[in-house]
């Protein structure tokens, strides 16, 4: 059972998109039967149980859900943000604390950087809540998603979470760098500003900054005497004042970075994750497919006024098209991973196996069509054998591929679809074959047909 709201939303959205290629009558019968099964078992007829129910009836070799690939890319993007933030934190803090004895480290600059990090964290949260996408072109290139899909609507929230993760890594590594340099070096801190600011005003500023931890660590609250004796001027003598006081700023700097940079980032990272889960639940609740699913589950297929329901009566799926023997050809296409883990012995050919569909890009599909077109032009009887997964219903993507191939291959070319199962020696079920036979009737006459498995012990294709 799926527990993550984000995964549940993406899987539900993907299944609804798959159902667009199915006849409405088939969907009505399937979902009505699901509702009756849930009523008999006393379980809620919600999206999670619906997806699990469909998965149980999709066969052992069901394809990996598209949500797994999308979530893997999202996790990789978050990891990339965190890695970049971590490296930037080390470099930034090491650069700020570089001390060669010629000048002191300006505490004012560190306070300004802490304020900048806090503002960026808050702006990222506001961007997530408002749904802004200031880096939309980059996100669309790294994390492509259909404009009207649930994933596209969650991209602003996800990018905010990834940005907060990068900010948290920046704050953590920069704090670790600060602590290491405090231990291994003798850092000299001071404060300076071009503004006409006295020691009293600056002391009030640092007291306001240190107010969250003033009662817990008094040594991390600079005194007025420390502020007065550690002010420096760029053009003034660097040796002025007591050098022993220059290092007493480090507890204040460490606590400032921890309280005003690291903790807000960690809290906002958890907040961004919570917002993402909340929006995923909301998107699932108002998904357009929910209303259609509820209608199909609640509406009887045939209301005759008696206690009988026909949810378990399968529709007439017979077709006048019959399977044909597998042709003798060396042109083989494995569609959408049908050759995984291996092709049946009857489809093993000495020629190359072309792979198309599934995770293949459109450019790769076009390359397969072009390469086969050149080979088929030299054949007297151009024939192509295409291995497909029997349990997966034909999709519009496959139909587009075959129509594009027909327009570019020789006119007499025929394509034989060979439905395969997860087991190399197991023939597909008749209901799966019927679905593929009906699919060929939607293609131009004589172009596509379905191959018939040989009888047990019969000759194999080769």
- State how far the Cα of 236 lies from the Cα of 29, in Å rounded to an integer: 87
How far from 57 is each of 54, 60, 336, 429, 432, CA to CA, in Å?
A: 5, 9, 20, 13, 12
Evaluate whether 280 touches 154 at the Cβ level (below 8 Å). yes
Q: Residue written as tokens 């296409």?
A: 333
Token readout for 65 is 């859900």
Locate 215 and state its tokens.
């009662």
Residue 174 and residue 181 in contact, taking contact as beta carbons nearer than 8 Å: no
* Contact indicator for 284, 22 with CB cutoff of 8 Å: no
pTM: 0.59
Distance of alpha carbon 259 from alpha carbon 96, whole angstroms: 19
Q: Which two tokens stand for residue 457?
A: 């012990």
- Scanning 325-417, the segments in alpha helix (DSSP H) are 362-376, 396-408
Closest listed residue to residue 120, CA positions, set 255, 228, 268: 268
In angstroms, how far is CA 27 from the centroid of its own chain? 28
Q: What number of other Cβ atoms are within 10 A of residue 158's Cβ?
A: 21
**Neighbour count for residue 447 (Cβ, 10 Å):** 17
Dist. CA 388–CA 16, nearest whole Å: 22
Q: CA 408, CA 402: separation in Å to the nearest integer?
A: 10
Angle at 395 between CA 394 and CA 400, to 5 degrees: 115
Give the pLDDT of residue 313: 54
- Distance, in Å, from the CA atom of 332 to the CA atom of 348, rounded to the nearest integer, reads 9
CA–CA dist 334, 353 (Å, integer): 7
C-alpha torsion sign, points 209, 212, 215, 218 = negative
The whole-number pLDDT of residue 1 equals 47
* Cα angle: 366, vertex 367, 369; to 5 degrees: 65
Spatial neighbors of 323 by CB under 8 A, at least 6 apart, are 433, 437, 449, 450, 451, 452
Q: Is the dihedral of CA 273, 279, 281, 284 positive or negative?
A: negative
- Four-CA torsion 254, 256, 258, 260, nearest 10 degrees: -170
Place of tokens 């598209």: 66
Residues of the chain with pLDDT under 50: 1, 61, 238-240, 303, 307, 456-462
Residue 253: what pLDDT? 94
Q: How far apart are CA 415 and CA 385, in angstroms?
A: 6
pLDDT at position 345? 79
């Amino acid at each position: 059972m799926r527990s993550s709201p984000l995964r549940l939303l993406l899987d539900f959205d993907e299944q609804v998109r798959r159902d667009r290629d199915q006849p409405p009558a088939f969907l009505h019968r399937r979902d009505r039967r699901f509702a009756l099964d849930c009523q008999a078992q006393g379980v809620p007829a919600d999206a999670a149980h619906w997806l699990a129910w469909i998965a149980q009836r999709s066969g052992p070799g069901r394809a990996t859900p598209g949500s797994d690939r999308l979530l893997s890319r999202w996790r990789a993007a978050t990891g990339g943000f965190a890695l970049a933030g971590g490296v930037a934190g080390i470099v930034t803090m090491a650069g700020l604390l570089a001390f060669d004895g010629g000048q002191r480290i300006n505490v004012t600059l560190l306070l300004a950087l802490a304020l900048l990090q806090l503002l960026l964290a808050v702006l990222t949260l506001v961007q997530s809540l408002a749904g802004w996408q200031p880096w939309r072109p980059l996100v669309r290139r790294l994390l492509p998603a259909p404009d009207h899909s649930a994933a596209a609507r969650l991209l602003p929230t996800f990018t905010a979470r990834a940005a907060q993760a990068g900010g948290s890594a920046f704050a953590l590594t920069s704090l670790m760098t600060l602590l290491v340099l405090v231990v291994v070096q003798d850092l000299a801190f001071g404060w300076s500003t071009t503004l006409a600011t006295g020691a009293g005003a600056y002391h009030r500023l640092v007291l306001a900054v240190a107010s969250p931890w003033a009662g817990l660590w008094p040594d991390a609250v600079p005194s007025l005497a420390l502020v007065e004796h550690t002010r420096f001027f760029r053009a003034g003598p660097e040796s002025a004042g007591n050098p022993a006081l220059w290092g007493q700023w480090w507890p204040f700097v460490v606590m400032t970075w921890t309280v005003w940079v690291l903790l807000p980032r960690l809290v906002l990272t958890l907040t961004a994750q919570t917002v993402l889960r909340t929006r995923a639940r909301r998107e699932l609740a108002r998904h357009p497919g929910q209303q259609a699913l509820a209608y199909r589950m609640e509406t009887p297929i045939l209301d005759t006024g008696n206690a009988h329901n026909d949810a378990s009566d399968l529709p007439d799926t017979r077709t006048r098209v019959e399977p044909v023997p597998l042709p003798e050809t060396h042109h083989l296409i494995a569609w959408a991973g049908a050759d995984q883990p291996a092709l049946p012995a009857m489809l093993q050919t000495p020629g190359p196996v072309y792979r198309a569909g599934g995770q293949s890009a459109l450019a790769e599909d076009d390359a397969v069509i072009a390469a086969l077109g050149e080979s088929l032009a030299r054949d007297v009887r151009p024939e192509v054998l295409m291995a497909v997964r029997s349990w997966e219903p034909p999709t519009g993507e496959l139909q587009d591929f075959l129509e594009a191939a027909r327009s570019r291959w020789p006119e007499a070319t025929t394509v034989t679809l060979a439905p395969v199962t997860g087991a190399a020696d197991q023939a597909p079920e008749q209901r799966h074959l019927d679905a593929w036979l009906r699919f060929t009737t939607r293609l131009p006459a004589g172009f596509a047909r379905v191959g018939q498995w040989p009888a047990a012990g019969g000759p194999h294709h080769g």
